[in-house]
């Protein structure tokens, strides 16, 4: 379970560092945008969920300069930093937890980059976002999959077993695999009887390399993505052994590897065939 207060603190504290260290997240935003197929001339209503420092917000503005964009993030420090970057009057920033917020507006595009892994209720939140789409609207998001930081999790488990530590306090949250995420989405989509969805999925692995494990862990902290689990607990001996295993198993040519499993999903909301026939009959 993610502790939202700790999450807010981590990201707010590191807003100024984020763009320097979030290389994979930026690449994910670029990929996500390339997957979209929307009319570039339309005055779109867009919801940017987990906008952070506004990197994706800027990409959206460049592609659809006439769009009306609502950019939200749970971390006040991120929102403050992002607001300072934008002078356009068609971008509105709001600090809120999308899982708790009421959405009273309909959008042509609901988009989110590298944020869904922080949700405690993924299914409920997806349902809320889908409900906020206009007919023919698009939900597009990227998130991290189950192979993310597999080196870290393997090293932690190996160290825990060696030290015979029964309690489990993983060094980061658990990530869903693509099948689980698609299942959640499909169940949400199927709940809307009058609509059908065209869904596109893409996966990729990205790697970063560091001189030491400590450097890798520090880079995660520099973007605010360090452990925000309520059950987190630091065991110095366990951490030391985990780092030893990590560098022994995953170091080559003087560098340690960190894997990011990137999942991309887009879904378009369309009137179902039987509903379209009814509409045509009425017309």
Q: Specify the pLDDT at position 165.
A: 87
Average the pLDDT over 204-218 and give the result. Answer: 96
In eight-state DSSP terms, residue 44 is: -
Token pair listed for 251: 């170091």
CATH topology of domain 4-146+174-205+262-282: Rossmann fold (3.40.50)
Number of H helices, E strands in the chain: 11, 8
Nearest-CA neighbor of 11 among 71, 78, 96, 56? 78
pLDDT digits (tens, 9 = 90+) for 59-77: 999 999 999 999 999 999 9
Are 143 and 168 contacting, i.e. CB atoms less than 8 angstroms apart?
no
pLDDT tens for 15-33 read 999 999 999 999 999 999 9
Q: What is the pLDDT of residue 255?
A: 98
Indicate whether 272 pLDDT > 70. Answer: no
Residue 142 host element (H or E): strand 133-144
The answer to whether 232 and 24 are in contact (CB under 8 A) is no
CA distance 256 to 30: 26
Of the listed ranges 42-46, 54-58, 232-236, the least confidently predicted one is 232-236
**Of 205-209, 229-233, 263-267, 279-283, minimum mean pLDDT range:** 279-283
| Per-residue confidence band for 197, with pLDDT thresholds at 50, 70 and 90 | low
Structure pTM?
A: 0.90
Closest CA to 51 of 5, 91, 107: 91
Position 280 pLDDT exceeds 50: no
pLDDT, one tens digit per residue, over 74-130 is 999 999 999 999 988 899 999 999 999 999 999 999 999 999 999 999 999 999 999
């Amino acid at each position: 379970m993610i502790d939202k207060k700790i999450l807010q603190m981590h990201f707010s504290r590191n807003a100024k560092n984020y763009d320097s260290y979030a290389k994979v997240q930026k690449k994910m935003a670029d990929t996500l945008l390339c997957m979209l197929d929307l009319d570039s001339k339309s005055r779109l209503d867009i919801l940017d969920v987990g906008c952070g420092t506004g990197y994706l917000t800027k990409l959206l503005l460049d592609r659809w300069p006439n769009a009306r964009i609502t950019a939200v993030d749970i971390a006040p420090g991120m929102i403050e930093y992002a607001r300072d970057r934008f002078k356009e009057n068609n971008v509105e920033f709001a600090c809120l937890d999308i899982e708790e917020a009421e959405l009273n507006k309909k959008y042509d595009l609901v988009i989110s980059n590298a944020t869904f892994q922080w949700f405690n209720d993924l299914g409920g939140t997806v349902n809320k976002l889908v409900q906020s789409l206009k007919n023919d609207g698009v939900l597009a998001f990227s998130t991290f999959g189950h192979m993310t930081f597999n080196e870290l999790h393997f090293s932690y488990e190996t160290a825990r077993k060696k030290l015979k530590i029964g309690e489990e306090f993983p060094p980061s949250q658990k990530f869903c695999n693509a099948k689980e995420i698609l299942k959640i989405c499909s169940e949400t989509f199927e709940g809307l009887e009058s609509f059908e969805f065209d869904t596109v999925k893409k996966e990729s692995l990205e790697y970063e390399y560091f001189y030491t494990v400590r450097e890798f862990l520090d880079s995660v902290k520099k973007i605010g993505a360090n452990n925000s689990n309520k059950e987190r607990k630091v065991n110095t001996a366990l951490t030391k052994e985990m780092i030893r295993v990590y560098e022994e198993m995953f170091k080559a040519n003087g560098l340690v590897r960190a894997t990011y499993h990137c999942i991309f999903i887009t879904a378009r909301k369309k009137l179902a065939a039987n509903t379209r026939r009814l509409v045509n009959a009425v017309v």
